């Protein structure tokens, strides 16, 4: 309901704004130390947030990327699937493919040897490819009424940096997370055991679909998995602990801003959805946005992530209208869900089995809240998200 969505967002809003105010104080301090007596404005935010980040964490993106060649990260996601869900990826060099750059894998169950899915990766930009990264299926899975089992063909697409003559494709941290994210959607598709094709894999409610993808991102920076794949492309050396610690510390940097922006966009979206103009009334978009910002107590240093006229989620189609909150809602689910793994061990077999059987295999064949509770043992709470973003 709109009330439940609003209530959820407001629980996140207050601690996010509090942190944003602290960030602004830190940035003002930084500017002052540089001899600039300024008030931070929305257009200063990225600039000073970067300055503070460099000062606090001293992270060099190039140094980090050297440990994340595309092939290594792909090994990382396959190791993850092997350890958690007991499936193995074997390349099929002679399999038919829609482009020579695609790599095709036979996915099999390690114990039984049974065929589970075909998985394709298509990671580099081409002139005819659209931007971004995504997962999709060439063929869905089902169990037909006569008992015939159809296994799926799933693919992951990306637009990652190409290799050069002397350097392999090296991924940025964002790109590493993207690969894990799309692979999480991929697993949802590959491991599905739902009977109906219309309910299998990622054919679930929109505010549930990002759980498998977002939860998978959590493993990307876990030392226990990093030691299996994050090797320097030149020296072959494993990523040093010190660098991993820095990455983890830096991960909550600027979360006041990011969370306020995300929750603000969602709240504005919901406000538009609830707004009922009188017949023939002309809507003053500017005034409406200001009124919403005032009511929320939006910090003056932060602007709306999207101004309404180009907020495509709301006005581009009805697919995401009043649905922008689903990103944060999915994060409530993934953060809470991952805390179970964190408690029991990130490769705990019992927790992994439960996630596989209750979430990944079920698709949309049952009510998502029931599925979540069966896996987690309770309904999701926002606390895990707030902890994960470093807001409490």
Q: Which residues are catalytic?
A: 182
**Residues of span 277-306 touching Zn ion by CB under 5 A:** none
Which residue, 182 or 361, has its beta carbon nearer to Zn ion?
182
Q: Smallest distance from the beta carbon of 212 to Zn ion, in angstroms?
A: 9
Residue 121: strand pairing partners? 103, 156
Given the DSSP bridges, would you call strands 115-122 and 134-139 parallel, antiparallel or unpaired?
unpaired
Q: Smallest distance from the beta carbon of 77 to Zn ion, in angstroms?
A: 15
Which residue, 213 or 258, has its beta carbon nearer to Zn ion?
213
Q: Smallest distance from the beta carbon of 379 to Zn ion, in angstroms?
A: 23
Which residue, 213 or 326, has its beta carbon nearer to Zn ion?
213
Q: Which residue is nearest to Zn ion (CB)?
A: 213
Contact mark string toward Zn ion, 142..181, x via CB under 5 A: ----------------------------------------
Which residue, 67 or 219, has its beta carbon nearer to Zn ion?
219
Decide if residue 202 touches Zn ion (CB under 5 A): no
Q: Contacts with Zn ion: how many residues (CB under 5 A)?
A: 1
Which residue, 203 or 213, has its beta carbon nearer to Zn ion?
213
110 three-class SS: coil
Tokens of 98: 């829609």
CA-to-CA dists, residue 102 to 88, 123, 254, angstroms? 18, 8, 37
**Residues of span 80-99 touching Zn ion by CB under 5 A:** none
Interacting residues of 16 by C-beta distance below 8 A, sequence separation 6+: 255, 256, 259, 260, 263, 389, 391
Contact mark string toward Zn ion, 203..242, x via CB under 5 A: ----------x-----------------------------
Residue 134: strand pairing partners? 157
Dihedrals phi, psi of 238, to nearest 5 degrees? -70, 150
Neighbours of 211 (CB within 10 A): 28
Given the DSSP bridges, would you call strands 149-150 and 103-109 parallel, antiparallel or unpaired?
unpaired
Interacting residues of 340 by C-beta distance below 8 A, sequence separation 6+: 351, 375, 376, 377
Q: Smallest distance from the beta carbon of 269 to Zn ion, in angstroms?
A: 18
Which residue, 271 or 330, has its beta carbon nearer to Zn ion?
330
Cα distance from N-terminal residue to C-terminal residue, the chain: 27
Q: Smallest distance from the beta carbon of 123 to Zn ion, in angstroms?
A: 16
Burial of 386 (0-12, 13-18, 19+ CB in 10 A): buried
Which residue, 181 or 376, has its beta carbon nearer to Zn ion?
181
Q: Which residues of 78-110 are buried (b: 16+ CB within 10 A; e: fewer)?
A: bbbbebbbbbebeeeeeeeeeeeebbbbebbee
C-alpha to C-alpha distance for 158 and 52, rounded to whole angstroms: 31
Q: Smallest distance from the beta carbon of 313 to Zn ion, in angstroms?
A: 14
Q: Smallest distance from the beta carbon of 360 to Zn ion, in angstroms?
A: 15
Interacting residues of 200 by C-beta distance below 8 A, sequence separation 6+: 140, 141, 142, 152, 189, 192, 193, 194, 363, 364, 365
Residues of this chain that bind Zn ion (CB under 5 A): 213
């Amino acid at each position: 309901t709109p009330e439940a969505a609003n209530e959820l967002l407001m629980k996140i809003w207050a601690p996010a704004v509090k942190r944003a105010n602290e960030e602004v104080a830190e940035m003002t301090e930084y500017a002052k130390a540089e001899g600039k007596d300024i008030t931070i404005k929305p257009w200063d935010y990225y600039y000073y947030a970067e300055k503070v980040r460099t000062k606090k964490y001293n992270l060099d993106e190039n140094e980090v990327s050297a440990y994340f060649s595309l092939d290594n990260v792909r090994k990382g996601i396959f190791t993850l699937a092997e350890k958690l869900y007991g499936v193995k990826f074997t390349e099929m060099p002679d399999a038919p493919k829609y482009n020579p750059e695609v790599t095709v894998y036979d996915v099999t169950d390690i114990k039984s040897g049974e065929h589970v899915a075909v998985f394709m990766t298509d990671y580099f930009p081409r002139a005819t490819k659209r931007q971004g990264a995504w997962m999709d299926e060439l063929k869905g899975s089902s169990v037909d009424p006569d008992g015939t089992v159809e296994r799926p063909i799933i693919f992951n697409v990306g637009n990652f940096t190409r290799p050069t003559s002397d350097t392999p494709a090296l991924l940025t941290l964002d790109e590493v997370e993207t690969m894990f994210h799309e692979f999480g959607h991929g697993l949802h598709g590959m491991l599905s055991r739902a009977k109906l094709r219309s309910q299998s894999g990622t054919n679930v409610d929109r505010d549930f679909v990002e759980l498998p993808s977002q939860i998978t991102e959590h493993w990307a920076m876990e030392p226990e998995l990093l030691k299996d794949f994050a090797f320097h492309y030149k020296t072959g050396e494993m990523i040093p602990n010190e660098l991993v610690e820095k990455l983890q510390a830096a991960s909550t940097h600027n979360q006041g801003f990011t969370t306020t922006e995300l929750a603000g966009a969602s709240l504005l979206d919901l406000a538009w959805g609830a707004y009922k103009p009188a017949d023939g009334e002309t809507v003053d978009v500017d005034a409406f946005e200001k009124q919403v910002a005032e009511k929320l107590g939006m910090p003056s240093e932060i602007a709306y992530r999207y101004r309404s006229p180009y907020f495509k989620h709301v006005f581009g189609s009805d697919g995401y209208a009043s649905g922008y909150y689903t990103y944060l809602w999915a994060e409530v689910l993934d953060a809470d869900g991952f805390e179970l793994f964190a408690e029991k061990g990130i490769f705990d077999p019992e927790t992994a089995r439960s996630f596989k059987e209750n979430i990944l295999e079920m698709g949309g064949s049952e009510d998502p809240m029931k599925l979540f509770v069966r896996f987690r043992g309770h309904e999701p709470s926002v606390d895990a998200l707030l902890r994960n973003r470093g807001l409490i």
